Chains A and B, each alone.
Chain A
Amino acid sequence: MSYYNEEDLGRFGEIARYKPELFEKFMAWYQACQEEGALSKREKSLIGLAVAVTVQCPYCIEAFTNSSLENGSNMEQMTEAMHLASAIRGGASLIHGIQSHNAHDKVSM
């Protein structure tokens, strides 16, 4: 059995069971963030997809893939967004290589 079940996405509301007021606040915030504002819904969906891939949440990936399609994006655009997020993540790892350089330099002649 997989730890991740597709059906669990539809059960997200059950998180409210033990602390409804916190979940309510979260949902109000989460939904407000996705409304059209200075950024379009499409831009927000692409940001959501890029972040979802980065945090590797299968539920968010499915939700924001659908939301991107329903806001008119195509796979070429979505793939560019995912590459950018992944490249930033890769770069964030790679910049830590400087720490290794520093550590190396400290102990090297």
Chain B
Amino acid sequence: MQTAVQITRNGKPALPDSPVSFSEKLGGAELYSYAIDTLQVNVGKLCNQACKHCHVDASPRRTEIMTRQTIDECLRVLRDFKIPTLDITGGAPELIPDFRYFVTEARKLNAKIIVRHNLTVMFEPNQTDLPKFFAENECEVVCSLPYFLAQQTDAQRGAGVFDKSIEALKKLNAVGYGIEGSGLILNLVYNPTGAFLPPAQSSIEADFHRELLNRYDLHFNNLFTITNMPVARYLDYLRRSNNEEKYMRKLLGAFNPATIEGLMCRNQISVDWRGRLFDCDFNQMLELNVSANLPQTIFDFDLEKFARRPIITANHCFGCTAGSGSSCGGAVAA
């Protein structure tokens, strides 16, 4: 269901302009979820970084973080509805006071835990033992590293981020993350450092394996390619650099119907720091709530109502359907 909500950002539409709407591109067909395998919880906007492409607008100055009460509700939903995967994101989720409580309690429920980790947070006060903590709780760690060179990484994520990220990856490798046979999964995320689409996932993954091994003796499991969504800071960048129209034409031209089946909104639900529910983390940042006839918060969650629900879409959704597609788990189509 294409949203009709008009939202603004810095006095301009918060959604990109497109010659054809996402709904038109789907031929008017509704997009529905088919299951809920993943509860993705965005625990807040607080982050030690302020990346140029961040769709969350996260930074060290943000104060919005999830309370223990809301975390307990997420845990209750995981337990009561036996949702197999908890995907914790932010901001830098590790910075909220109850992060470790959330992980250890979810672990007791035998949920698979994914933590979206920015690497540099490991060097913040009281965070140096994160690799050990992740390992003890068998978290799957998904780390942002937009490129295997400093120039591109620092251009997107801030000066000095690349060197710190490499140090953090060495510490994760040291406790077994990314090492064959350890069972500890370390995945990396590539996203383009500009107004272009990601390369084929398998091809750039091979480059990352080769370059990180040769240059830094680093190991990891998989690389996920993620397309930059034309929202928030990335949309600001597109507008500043006069690339909005070109980027949208690029996304539209690369629209791939084969991605629809694997879109992440179809088998997950997204929770914000206040406990409100969304079809994905991008909709969350755009404040595009789940369909109005559904419960709006985790406190009223009901699996039956959500497993097959209409998905709220808008023009930013072209970001997930371009080329091989994009999701929090990388490409979704060959």
The answer to whether A70 and B197 touch across the interface, beta carbons within 8 angstroms, is: yes
Contact of A71 with B by CB under 8 A: yes
Given contacts A74-B147, A74-B149, A74-B152, contact A66 B196 (CB under 8 A): yes
How far, in angstroms, from A66 to B323 measured CA to CA in the complex?
Answer: 14
Using a CB-CB cutoff of 8 Å, which residues 16-45 of chain A contact chain B?
A: 40-42
A65 CB to closest chain B CB, in angstroms? 9
Cα–Cα, bound, A74→B152 (Å): 9
Chain A at the B interface: SS class = helix
Knowing A40-B203, A74-B152, the reply to whether A69 touches B147 (Cβ < 8 A) is: no
Which residues of B are found within 8 Å of A69, using beta-carbon distances?
Answer: 192, 194, 196
Answer whether residue B217 sits at the interface, using C-beta atoms and an 8 A cutoff: no
**Chain B residue with minimal CB distance to A45?**
B199
User: B196–A72 contact, CB under 8 A?
Assistant: no
Secondary structure of the B side of the interface? loop
- Whether B199 lies near A42 (C-beta < 8 A) is yes
Interface range on chain B (Cβ under 8 Å from partner): 10 to 19
Most buried by B among A40, A71, A72, A76: A72
Q: Which residues of A contact B15 (CB under 8 A)?
A: none
Interface residues on A, range: 10 to 19
Contacts of A71 in B (CB 8 A): 199-200, 203
Least distance between B128 CB and chain A CB atoms (Å): 32
Closest-by-CB residue of A relative to B203 is: A72
- Give, as a whole number of angstroms, the nearest-CB distance from B23 to chain A: 24
Q: Which residue on chain A has the smallest CB distance to residue B250? A: A66
In whole angstroms, what is the CA distance A66 to B151 when docked? 18
Min CB distance A63 to B, Å, is 12
Within the complex, what minimum Cβ distance (angstroms) separates B329 from chain A?
19
| Nearest Cβ on chain A to B324's Cβ, whole angstroms | 11
Contact residues in A for B199 (Cβ distance below 8 Å): 42, 70-72
Which residues of chain A have a CB within 8 Å of any CB of chain B? 10, 40-42, 66, 69-72, 74-76
Q: Can you give 20 A-B contacts (C-beta < 8 A)?
A: A10-B249, A41-B203, A42-B203, A66-B196, A69-B192, A69-B194, A69-B196, A70-B197, A70-B199, A71-B199, A71-B203, A72-B199, A72-B200, A72-B203, A72-B204, A72-B207, A74-B147, A74-B149, A74-B152, A76-B149
- Footprint of A on B, CB under 8 Å? 147, 149, 151-152, 192, 194, 196-200, 203-204, 207, 249
Which 7 A-B pairs rank lowest in CB-CB distance, beginning with the nearest?
A72-B199, A72-B204, A69-B196, A70-B197, A71-B199, A70-B196, A66-B196
